[in-house]
Chain A
Amino acid sequence: MTTLPANAARHDPIAAAYLTTSRMVSVLMLLTFGLLVTVVVAAKFGSVHISLVRAFADASSSDHAIFFAARLPRLIMAVIVGAVLAAVGAALQALVRNPLAEGGILGISGGGALGAIIALVFLTRIGASETTVVPLVAFGAALLSTVAVYRLAEVDGQLEPFTLLLVGVIFNAFWGAAIMVVNSVVNFYYAHTILFWLMGSLEAPTWHEVVLVAALGLSGFVALMFYARDLNLLSLGDEAAAELGVDVDFLRRLIFVATSVMVGAVVSVSGIIAFVGLIVPHMLRIAFGSDHRLLIPASLIGGAAFMVIADLIARVAIAPAEIPVGAITALFGGPFFVYMLRREGGKPLGL
């Protein structure tokens, strides 16, 4: 399978064989258009029927109230969370040279969620501000978890991709268990919140949260884009990347910090939403090739669209009740992960 339709390759085999700026622009525009369509559809539908026209025209209508107070912030949060998780997935896959890597699978989300819960349950009790301390602790815990996973996956100073994946999976399960322990010892008031973090949800974010997560996500994304070409070189192996001018140790640290900030911020508001970072980059890689200068921004937009759709299903499937959005992504993602594991198992994939 080629990354472009066969007729394009016939017209100009050279232009079709690498990432040109024009191809990059057209792919990103196409994806943006797709995202806009999903956003409009998702804004229209919900557990309550509203008219978008009335919501904008009449500020005193209930349509206006529902749209601006509930549906819009949630929609924006879905866009941000999906975008960040998918972009992080693409970057982590490049970093560990394995298409099965993702924030959730590597234990970063789990660590972040545990940090968020501990901050919420214990630190806010001693007077810390919830909106500030929870994301910060989530980020710190996500980073600590990442560093621990990474260190344990090193064999003789070399990163072992399969070991990394296994260690990540173990950490993920471990953090989940730790969250359940915290859940058992705290009072009932927190139980719902903790479940929310475990399952992932985009319920009722505040504008303050939306802005904070967007800012952290965007700065992390800029860092990833700055090093997107270096991530391409990393696909050739650490040594070959170094020979092409990449400071591999620095790049690893930087990407781990950037992705931990991004995942920590997202987890602190949405909980653990798994598999988005796995499915979206993988599909986009098949469709548009492996160049990370396109793959990372494409994942950003594609992840946003994916999450908007997943959240729409979460909201309307059993309305007026709601399914946690993390359950929706995991229902799609679990089988997908198994499919990829089987598929990649047949090929050495340069591991």
Chain B
Amino acid sequence: MSSGAAPHDSALTARDLRAGYTSVPVLRGVSLEVAPGELLAVVGPNGSGKSTLLRVLGGTMRPWQGSVELQGRPLQGLPRRAIAREIASVAQENAVAFRFTVLEIVLMGRAPHLGAFRFESRHDLEIAQAALERFDLLALAHRHIEELSGGERKRVFLARALTQQPRVMLLDEPTAFLDLKHVVGIFSRFRELATARGLAVVATLHDLNVAAAYADRVLLLRAGEVIGYGTPSEVLTEGNLRSVYETEIYVGKNPITGQLTILPAHTPRISR
């Protein structure tokens, strides 16, 4: 939008990130690069540092070491509001303390673009309405957030993030606990957004098949270390997954779609 800044081929770059909450490191030297229009899936077992990585990438947590750059500018030097105009995050849990309507929550995404005492303009409202429409929420605009189902709520927060009009979106388990219809709906929308608007998306995922189906690239973490980083078929190999998840895993191709398919290869022992 602003002139002067040369177009950068990387939306977000992280170099050698080390971070943690206590003295124990949660991230041990993670580097990555997301290009505009790219969807990067971060996978790994529980406690491997996926959510922490998103916090550091979003600038809400300072790394001990290493740097994050937003289109070539170091994130640490930027004010919070400037970051919020470029990076939008959606957490796994989204509790709201008071009774707000769906539209009010989605309009909150305009906050980083508005000055103090300023109300949302016609233009802001149009952006919010477009986001609601994209996530099939227009009919729910006046409803209170606590009256919605889990899938509807999740879509509200995704629409809010979209209303920020960011270049980068950080999604922590965007489809956890959602049924298949929502999983497909949400990821196909983000695929579209990435392609159409050059949005860079980083999503943590538990479901390896979803990662294989939708991600351009996959970052595989184990205990804060990068085990694999590349295209799904490069990273999601039997060898990598066996060592990371410590269980037998079958990786093959879906005979109908040719899609990479990952299944546990553990034979259940039924005792009688």
Question: Given the complex of chains A and B, what is the CA–CA distance between A97 and B55 in angstroms?
Answer: 22
- In the complex, chain A residues 1-28 whose Cβ is within 8 Å of any chain B Cβ: 2-3, 9, 13-14, 16-21
B103 at the interface (CB under 8 A from A): yes
**Which residue, of A97, A242, A247, has the highest number of chain B Cβ atoms within 10 A?**
A242
A268 at the interface (CB under 8 A from B): no
Question: Given the complex of chains A and B, what is the CA–CA distance between A70 and B99 in angstroms?
Answer: 42
Question: Given the complex of chains A and B, what is the CA–CA distance between A78 and B155 in angstroms?
Answer: 46
The answer to whether A245 touches B80 (Cβ under 8 A) is yes
The answer to whether B94 touches A236 (Cβ under 8 A) is yes
The answer to whether B99 touches A289 (Cβ under 8 A) is yes
B107 at the interface (CB under 8 A from A): yes
The answer to whether A349 touches B104 (Cβ under 8 A) is no
A163 at the interface (CB under 8 A from B): no
Main secondary structure of the interface of A (DSSP, over half): loop
Distance in Å from the Cβ of A13 to the closest Cβ of chain B? 5
Chain B residues with CB below 8 A from A293, complex form: 119
B84 at the interface (CB under 8 A from A): yes
The answer to whether A13 touches B141 (Cβ under 8 A) is yes
- In the complex, chain A residues 234-254 whose Cβ is within 8 Å of any chain B Cβ: 234-237, 239-240, 242-247
Distance in Å from the Cβ of B131 to the closest Cβ of chain A? 13
B120 at the interface (CB under 8 A from A): yes
Chain A residues with CB below 8 A from B60, complex form: 239, 242-243
Q: Which segment of B68-76, B85-93, B199-207 sits at the interface?
A: B85-93
Chain A residues with CB below 8 A from B270, complex form: none
B142 at the interface (CB under 8 A from A): yes
B96 at the interface (CB under 8 A from A): yes
**Complex partner residue of A98 from B85, B97, B102, B142, CB under 8 angstroms:** B97
B111 at the interface (CB under 8 A from A): yes
B13 at the interface (CB under 8 A from A): no
> B106's closest neighbor in chain A, by CB?
A18
Distance in Å from the Cβ of A274 to the closest Cβ of chain B? 22
The answer to whether A242 touches B94 (Cβ under 8 A) is no
The answer to whether B94 touches A290 (Cβ under 8 A) is no
Chain A residues with CB below 8 A from B104, complex form: 17-19, 232, 289-291
The answer to whether B103 touches A229 (Cβ under 8 A) is no
Q: Tell me whether A226 and B116 are in contact in the complex, defined as CB-CB below 8 angstroms, given that A16-B142, A239-B60 are known contacts.
A: yes
The answer to whether B119 touches A233 (Cβ under 8 A) is no
Chain B residues with CB below 8 A from A244, complex form: 84, 108-109, 111-112, 164
Question: Given the complex of chains A and B, what is the CA–CA distance between A246 and B80 in angstroms?
Answer: 7
The answer to whether A14 touches B88 (Cβ under 8 A) is no
**Which residue, of B81, B108, B114, B146, has the highest number of chain A Cβ atoms within 10 A?**
B108
B52 at the interface (CB under 8 A from A): no
B231 at the interface (CB under 8 A from A): no
B58 at the interface (CB under 8 A from A): yes
The answer to whether B94 touches A9 (Cβ under 8 A) is no
> B120's closest neighbor in chain A, by CB?
A18
Total contacting residues, chain A, CB less than 8 A: 43
Q: Tell me whether A99 and B98 are in contact in the complex, defined as CB-CB below 8 angstroms, given that A18-B107, A226-B116 are known contacts.
A: yes
Question: Given the complex of chains A and B, what is the CA–CA distance between A21 and B119 in angstroms?
Answer: 7
B130 at the interface (CB under 8 A from A): no
Chain B residues with CB below 8 A from A347, complex form: 146
**Which residue, of A99, A227, A235, A349, has the highest number of chain B Cβ atoms within 10 A?**
A235
The answer to whether B141 touches A229 (Cβ under 8 A) is no
A350 at the interface (CB under 8 A from B): yes
Question: Given the complex of chains A and B, what is the CA–CA distance between A37 and B195 in angstroms?
Answer: 60
The answer to whether A235 touches B84 (Cβ under 8 A) is no
> A295's closest neighbor in chain B, by CB?
B98
Distance in Å from the Cβ of B47 to the closest Cβ of chain A? 17
The answer to whether B91 touches A229 (Cβ under 8 A) is no
A136 at the interface (CB under 8 A from B): no
Chain A residues with CB below 8 A from B165, complex form: none
Question: Given the complex of chains A and B, what is the CA–CA distance between A227 and B117 in angstroms?
Answer: 8
Distance in Å from the Cβ of A158 to the closest Cβ of chain B? 11
The answer to whether A14 touches B125 (Cβ under 8 A) is yes
A61-75 interface mask toward B, CB cutoff 8 Å, 1 = contact, 0 = none? 000000000000000
Question: Given the complex of chains A and B, what is the CA–CA distance between A3 and B104 in angstroms?
Answer: 12
> A14's closest neighbor in chain B, by CB?
B141
Distance in Å from the Cβ of B40 to the closest Cβ of chain A? 18
Chain A residues with CB below 8 A from B96, complex form: 235-236, 350
The answer to whether A235 touches B98 (Cβ under 8 A) is yes
B100 at the interface (CB under 8 A from A): yes
Known: A18-B101, A237-B95, A239-B55. 12 other contacts (CB 8 A): A14-B129, A14-B141, A18-B103, A229-B111, A235-B98, A236-B95, A244-B108, A245-B80, A246-B80, A246-B111, A347-B146, A350-B97
Q: Could you list 7 A-B pairs, sorted by A, with CB under 8 Å?
A: A3-B99, A226-B116, A229-B111, A232-B100, A240-B94, A247-B80, A285-B99
Chain A interface residues (CB < 8 Å from chain B) = 2-3, 9, 13-14, 16-21, 94, 97-99, 225-227, 229-230, 232-237, 239-240, 242-247, 285, 289-291, 293, 347, 349-351
Q: Which 7 A-B pairs have the closest CB atoms?
A: A245-B84, A350-B95, A245-B81, A97-B97, A17-B142, A290-B98, A245-B112
